[in-house]
Amino acid sequence: MEKGQNVDQWREWDAYYSPFDPCSPRQKYYLIPPDQMTTFQSAGLKQYSPHEALKRGTLWPDLYSPYPRGAKEGTR
Amino acid sequence: MWIYEKKLQYPVRVGKCDPRLARLLIEQYGGADGELSAALRYLNQRYSIPDRVIGLLTDIGTEEFAHLEMIATMVYKLTKDASPEQMKAAGLADHYVNHDRALYYHDAAGVPWTSAYIQAKGDPIADLYEDIAAEEKARATYQWIIDNTDDPDIMDALKFLREREIVHALRFREAVELLKEHREQKKVF
Ligand SMILES: [Fe+2]
């Protein structure tokens, strides 16, 4: 998982694991994308440079959600 | 498992012989935003959703089956004694040739129910937002059915069902808020 900015978009939880379950347990994760954390975007938020914004798909770091491939696999 | 109580969640009275209304009510029986879709959607999503909201999906999914029974009761009462001529006059001739007076899972336009109406995305935010949208759509459907009847008894039951959609929508939105919280995260180095 990408370290530093926006890593706290991930949440962990444990599914019930029975001693009779056939496979070894795996940590469960889900992602809360940054749009979930505001109801109405406030004005004057920090912005990326124009070039960086074009690459990332948003002008605002607060709205950026990284999704590196295999993000759910790397933290354990 | 489930325990069955042989009574309706809320009493259903039908005060007027109006088989035409059965055709509209069936939207909430086998339509995209109907009670069957709701029950099956929620009970199925339970398996892969974070454990904190499994109980909510069980409770609401179960209640949706109780709503399904109420709709079925209304449709049954409105059609059980209808003659083929009355069925035809109510726009139910197509239904009659295929099903007689049996209930069937289709919408008001006769389109059969399909599991394509419901989704299980595995992503809890995506799933809960579908659930919230489904409740709001069901609320709207109840409003439009209420607009199409002048039977105060039917209206009473439909208003109860409409109110339940409002409560369910709030419960699902609360579930989203629960999932946003950080629980004390296990750190494994
Ligand atoms: Fe509902």
pLDDT(A76) > 90: no
Which residue did the predictor score with more confidence, A73 or B73?
B73
Tokens read off for B36: 């069957």
- Which residues have CB atoms below 5 A from the ion given as ligand 1? B 165, 168
Residue ranges of chain B with per-residue pLDDT less than 70: 184-189
Q: Is A32 on the interface with B (CB under 8 A)?
A: yes
Looking at residue A8, its pLDDT comes to: 87
CA distance A29 to B179: 11
Looking at residue A2, its pLDDT comes to: 43
Domain boundaries, chain A: 10-63
Distance B168 CA to ligand 1 centre (A): 5
Q: What is the mean pLDDT of chain A?
A: 87
pLDDT(A3) > 50: no
- For residue B185, give the nearest of A12, A30, A36 by CB distance: A12
**Model confidence over B24-38: pLDDT tens digits?**
999 999 999 999 999
Cβ of B125 within 8 Å of Cβ of A8? The answer is no
In this structure, chain B runs to a length of 189
pLDDT(A5) > 80: no
Average pLDDT over residues A4-33: 89
Cβ of B182 within 8 Å of Cβ of A16? The answer is no
CA B138 to chain centre: 7
Distance B135 CA to ligand 1 centre (A): 5
Kindly list the structural domains of chain B, giving each domain's residue range(s) and its CATH number in brackets, ordered by start: 19-181 (1.20.1260.10)
Tokens read off for B187: 């750190």
pLDDT(A1) > 50: no
Confidence of residue A54 (pLDDT cuts 50, 70, 90): very high
pTM of the model: 0.92
Distances (CA, A) of B21 to B16, B78, B92: 10, 8, 10
Which residue did the predictor score with more confidence, A74 or A7?
A7
Looking at residue B186, its pLDDT comes to: 56
Which residue did the predictor score with more confidence, A6 or B70?
B70
- For residue B123, give the nearest of A12, A13, A30 by CB distance: A30
Looking at residue B2, its pLDDT comes to: 96
Looking at residue B158, its pLDDT comes to: 98
Tokens read off for B189: 């180095």
